[in-house]
């Protein structure tokens, strides 16, 4: 009985003394470990991995040459950063596809034919043109008053008299208001150009979805928000 207990204690002691992981496989009878370089190419085999290859990938083979353990190369800080950036990019791409899918769904729910898109375009641009006409009317009115004020100021200057302060103030105010309204005119014309581009892209996408040539279909997208009023 004492002899059996001694054998058990000796076995347990040996197991505790063995190193964990790949090193255990290396110390098994007949086992052999093969290691790779940074490029992933096997460059040597033996009973243990040389210190300069410890961080590289390696594999342990048994007596029959079968792989019984495999260790991947340690991840470098640069690789970890690249993996993080790749993960973030994939997340952004997925969000973009989801957003495109929602827009597709809204587009298909809002229109049944491309002619309806043209009608919606005409209505939207008409609203901008009405505002544009109002701004142009203001500019014409202010230009007339500015010319009138300028004539009065010229008359004072012709008579070598000082221009009244109130007249100069009116001239400065009208000049500033005129410049502001002219900037609004430019902005409204830009809005019309942008609106046409927006509806051109919308119509093109609608035709792709209807013909089945779109790369991303609304059917695979998340439920969309309620469509805009026509």
Closest of 27, 17, 73, 69 to residue 48, by C-alpha: 27
pLDDT tens per residue, range 57-89: 888 888 777 777 777 777 777 878 888 889 999
Does the reported pTM lie above 0.85?
Answer: no
| Residue 107 in this model has a pLDDT that exceeds 90 | yes
CA dist 86 and 221 (Å) reads 23
CA dist 176 and 130 (Å) reads 23
Per-residue model confidence (pLDDT) at position 230: 46
Per-residue model confidence (pLDDT) at position 18: 36
Per-residue model confidence (pLDDT) at position 214: 66
229 three-class SS: coil
Beta strands 58-61; 32-36: pairing state: antiparallel
pLDDT tens per residue, range 14-45: 333 333 343 333 345 567 888 888 788 888 88
């Amino acid at each position: 009985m004492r002899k059996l207990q001694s054998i058990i204690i000796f076995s347990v002691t040996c197991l505790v003394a063995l190193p964990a992981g790949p090193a255990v496989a290396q110390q098994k009878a007949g086992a052999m470990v093969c290691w790779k370089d940074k490029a992933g190419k096997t460059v040597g085999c033996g009973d243990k991995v040389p210190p300069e290859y410890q961080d590289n990938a390696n594999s342990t083979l048994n007596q029959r040459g079968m792989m019984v353990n495999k260790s991947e190369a340690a991840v470098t800080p640069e690789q970890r950063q690249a993996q993080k950036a790749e993960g973030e990019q994939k997340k952004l791409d997925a969000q973009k596809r989801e957003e495109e899918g929602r827009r597709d769904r809204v587009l298909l729910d809002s229109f049944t034919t491309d002619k309806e898109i043209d009608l919606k375009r005409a209505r939207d641009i008409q609203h901008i043109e009405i505002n544009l006409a109002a701004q142009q009317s203001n500019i014409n009115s202010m230009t007339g008053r500015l010319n009138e004020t300028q004539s009065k100021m010229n008359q004072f200057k012709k008579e070598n008299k000082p221009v009244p302060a109130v007249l100069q103030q009116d001239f400065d105010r009208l000049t500033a208001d005129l410049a502001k309204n002219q900037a609004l005119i430019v902005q409204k014309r830009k809005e019309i150009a942008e609106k046409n581009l927006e509806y051109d892209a919308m119509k093109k996408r609608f035709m792709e979805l209807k013909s089945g040539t779109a790369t991303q279909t609304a059917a695979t997208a998340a439920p969309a928000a309620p469509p805009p009023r026509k």
